[in-house]
């Protein structure tokens, strides 16, 4: 479904991605793990079009989308839940969710999807009139996920969804991720919490200094001595 | 890593996340941030149900029935630790029941029960932490070292049952829902703050 070949990206003269190649097949949950500054978020932003590629290619369902604008990629049913949630703090919870469907025009379908979001994330229903900036970190993460799901994505890009959350909220986030996978959503999950990510993933990639250093099934990577030493604290 | 070990570790993480919520509630009760009149008993009940069904009914009996006997058969290295863990499993059930009695008494506003709940919960949480530490740092590494593939087969099969979303000994979907409810009810920022104390 998603194929990245030899991708490079720069921040000015600094190269952040050094020829990254990876694939995400339809229905898969693929994790990308690595330390701080490895280039994980840059890669995700390059996939969603928020960061320009300086070389290589990003293809989605066989179509080269490397030069396609970010908003056009949403139309292809690719949605991103950004690192740090990035909700619109001054807007209400309801408006934040609705904004996730900005590429859709069928009002009845949007209303129906909003009800589905409220059923899946009941806390958002309770807080729907509140400004998103007043929500706690966990509540904002649920909001960011609901907003992304409103575009009915077939490929969901999740950037550090468990960052800074309590253990029970981390469990809940990963439970939702598993549930989405069971519903057929293809997921590319970027996480520093390598153990939790690799446990739910079909396959994983390890990234170091802008390059993919290792790849394998989630189980294989969890049992890999290099991964254990570097990322799992074992 | 054997499948059963992976599942046990994941189950410990899951249980730890629930105990983390319980610990926060105890700290809040003790500091006065949470008044006994404002306690969300629905949340307490779900936490205790989770511990009873997940830990005492599903997780521990499988360790007692499959993992510990396999280890005892293979090595005498951890005989004392295993006896202690088995005793802790039994004591854990009795202590949970006592704790439930104290919680009910606090709900019924019996004098002095808030302090009793705080003390009983602190002891209970501490016992759980020590118990899991022994299993994580002594028993699991030993099991990984001494048990053969053949030894693991029945243990894997037993713990694999826990992963079945619908037809496990207790369906996984039930625990998923319970954990989700606990997360919803627990006060923010530990949980989503959907309960009484929002």
Flag if B194 and A123 touch (Cβ within 8 Å): yes
B180 touches chain A (CB under 8 A): yes
**pLDDT value of residue B5:** 93
Residue A17 lies in a domain: no
**pLDDT value of residue A192:** 86
B92 touches chain A (CB under 8 A): no
Partner-chain residue, chosen from B179, B188, B189, that has the shortest CB–CB distance to A171: B179
Question: Would you give the DSSP letter of residue B147?
Answer: -
Phi/psi region, residue A121 (left: phi>0; alpha: psi -120 to 50; beta: rest), is beta
CA distance A50 to A157: 13
Enumerate the β-bridge partners of residue A3. A23, A59
The CA R_g of chain A, rounded to the nearest whole Å, is 17
The per-residue pLDDT of chain B, averaged, comes to 91
**pLDDT value of residue B88:** 96
Enumerate the β-bridge partners of residue A4. A22, A58
Residue A201 lies in a domain: yes
Task: Give the residue among B173, B131, B154 at the shortest CA–CA distance from B69.
Answer: B154
Residue B196 lies in a domain: no
Could you read off the pLDDT tens digit of each residue along chain A, which spans 234 residues? Answer: 999 999 999 999 999 999 999 999 999 999 999 888 899 999 999 999 999 999 999 999 999 999 999 988 888 989 999 888 889 999 999 999 999 998 888 999 999 999 999 999 999 999 999 999 999 999 999 999 999 999 999 999 999 999 999 999 999 999 999 989 988 999 999 998 888 899 899 999 999 999 999 999 998 898 888 887 777 655
Question: Chain B residues with CB inside 8 Å of A223's CB?
Answer: 1
The number of folded domains in chain B is 1
B13 touches chain A (CB under 8 A): yes
Ranges A184-198, A219-233, B12-26, B125-139: which has the least confidence: A219-233
B179 touches chain A (CB under 8 A): yes
Question: Chain A residues with CB inside 8 Å of B191's CB?
Answer: 138, 166, 168-169
Q: Cis omega (within 30 of 0) on the bond before B189?
A: yes
CA torsion sign, B165 to B169 to B174 to B175? negative
Question: Chain B residues with CB inside 8 Å of A122's CB?
Answer: 184, 194
Q: What percent of chain B stands above pLDDT 70?
A: 94
What number is the ipTM of this complex? 0.87
Q: What angle do CA B54, A200, A119 make, to 5 degrees?
A: 70
Residue A85 lies in a domain: yes
pLDDT 10s digits, B75-104:
999 999 999 999 999 999 999 999 999 999
| CATH at residue B160 | 1.20.120.520
End-to-end CA distance of chain A: 34
Whether B126 has a pLDDT exceeding 60, the answer reads: yes
Partner-chain residue, chosen from B6, B184, B193, that has the shortest CB–CB distance to A136: B193
> Which domain does B38 fall in, by range?
3-185
Whether B30 has a pLDDT exceeding 70, the answer reads: yes
Residue B92 lies in a domain: yes
Flag if A167 and B16 touch (Cβ within 8 Å): yes
Residue A205 lies in a domain: yes
**pLDDT value of residue A82:** 87
CA distance A132 to B137: 43
| CATH at residue A149 | 3.40.50.300
Residue A54 lies in a domain: no
Partner-chain residue, chosen from B1, B180, B190, that has the shortest CB–CB distance to A166: B190
Query: Is residue B135 very low, low, confident or very high in pLDDT (cuts 50, 70, 90)?
Result: very high
Flag if B190 and A171 touch (Cβ within 8 Å): no
Residue B17 lies in a domain: yes
Cβ–Cβ pairs < 8 A, chains A and B: 66
| H helices present in A63-166, as ranges | 70-75, 93-99, 107-120, 122-126, 137-149
Residue B157 lies in a domain: yes
How far A199 CA sits from the closest chain B CA (Å)? 9
User: What SS3 state is found at B196?
Assistant: coil
pLDDT 10s digits, B64-77:
999 999 999 999 99
B28 touches chain A (CB under 8 A): no
**pLDDT value of residue B196:** 65
For residue B134, what are its two tokens?
């022994």
CA distance A61 to A5: 14
How far A137 CA sits from the closest chain B CA (Å)? 7
Q: In what order do the strands lie in the sheet with A203-208?
A: A78-81, A155-159, A186-191, A29-33, A203-208, A211-217
- Residues B46, B181: contact at Cβ < 8 Å? yes
Angstrom CA distances, B4 to A16, A65, A212, B103, B138, stand at 40, 43, 30, 34, 16
**pLDDT value of residue A84:** 82
CA torsion sign, A57 to A62 to A67 to A70? negative
Burial tier of A160 (Cβ tally within 10 Å: 0-12, 13-18, 19+):
buried
Mutation target to probe the B interface, by most B beta carbons within 10 A, among A127, A143, A166, A234 is: A166
Query: Is residue B167 very low, low, confident or very high in pLDDT (cuts 50, 70, 90)?
Result: low
Residue A13 lies in a domain: no
Flag if A168 and B182 touch (Cβ within 8 Å): yes
**pLDDT value of residue B150:** 96
Mean pLDDT of all residues in B142-160: 95
CB-CB neighbours of B37 under 10 Å:
6
For residue B73, what are its two tokens?
């058969």
Flag if A168 and B186 touch (Cβ within 8 Å): yes
> Which domain does A192 fall in, by range?
27-38+69-232
Flag if A139 and B190 touch (Cβ within 8 Å): no
For residue B9, what are its two tokens?
């570790």
Ranges B26-30, B40-44, B82-86, B175-179: which has the least confidence: B175-179
The number of folded domains in chain A is 1
Provide the Cα torsion A117, A118, A124, A125; round to 10°: 160
Residue A190 lies in a domain: yes
The torsion angles phi and psi of B14, rounded to 5 degrees, stand at -65, -45
Partner-chain residue, chosen from A123, A168, A219, that has the shortest CB–CB distance to B18: A168
Please count the CA atoms within 13 angstroms of the CA of B170 that sit on its side-chain side: 17
């Amino acid at each position: 479904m998603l194929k990245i070949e030899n991708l490079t990206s720069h921040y000015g003269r600094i190269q952040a991605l050094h020829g990254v190649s990876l694939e995400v097949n339809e229905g898969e949950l693929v994790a990308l793990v690595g330390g701080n500054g490895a280039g994980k978020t840059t890669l995700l932003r390059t996939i969603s079009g928020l960061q320009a590629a300086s070389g290589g290619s990003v293809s989605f369902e066989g179509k080269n989308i490397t030069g396609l604008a970010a908003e056009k990629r949403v139309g292809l049913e690719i949605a991103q839940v950004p690192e740090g949630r990035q909700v619109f703090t001054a807007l209400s919870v309801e408006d934040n969710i609705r904004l996730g469907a900005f590429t859709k025009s069928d009002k009845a379908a949007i209303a129906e999807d909003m009800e589905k979001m409220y059923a899946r994330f009941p806390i958002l229903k309770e807080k729907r009139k509140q400004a998103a900036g007043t929500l706690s970190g966990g509540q904002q993460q649920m909001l960011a996920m609901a907003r992304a799901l409103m575009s009915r994505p077939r490929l969901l890009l999740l950037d550090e969804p468990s960052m800074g959350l309590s253990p029970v909220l981390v469990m809940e986030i990963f439970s939702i991720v598993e549930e989405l996978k069971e519903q057929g959503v293809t997921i590319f999950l970027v996480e520093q919490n390598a153990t939790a990510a690799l446990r739910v993933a079909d396959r994983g990639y390890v990234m170091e200094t802008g390059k993919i250093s290792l790849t394998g099934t989630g189980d294989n990577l969890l049992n890999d001595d290099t991964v254990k030493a570097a990322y799992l604290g074992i | 890593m054997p499948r059963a070990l992976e599942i046990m570790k994941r189950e410990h993480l899951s249980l730890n996340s629930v105990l983390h919520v319980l610990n926060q509630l105890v700290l809040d009760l003790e500091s006065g941030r949470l008044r006994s009149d404002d306690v969300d008993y629905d949340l307490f009940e779900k936490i205790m149900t989770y511990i009873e069904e997940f830990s005492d009914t599903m997780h521990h009996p499988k360790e007692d029935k499959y993992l510990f006997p396999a280890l005892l058969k293979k090595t005498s290295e951890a005989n004392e630790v295993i006896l202690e863990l088995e005793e802790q499993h039994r004591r854990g059930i009795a202590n949970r029941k006592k704790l439930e009695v104290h919680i009910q008494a606090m709900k019924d506003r019996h004098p002095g029960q808030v302090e009793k709940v705080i003390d009983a919960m602190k002891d209970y949480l501490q016992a759980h932490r020590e118990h899991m530490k022994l299993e994580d740092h002594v028993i699991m590494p030993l099991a990984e070292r001494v048990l053969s593939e053949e030894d693991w087969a029945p243990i894997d099969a037993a713990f694999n049952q826990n992963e079945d979303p619908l037809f496990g000994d207790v369906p996984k979907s039930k625990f998923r829902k319970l954990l989700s409810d606990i997360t919803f009810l627990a006060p923010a920022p530990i949980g989503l703050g959907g309960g009484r104390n929002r």
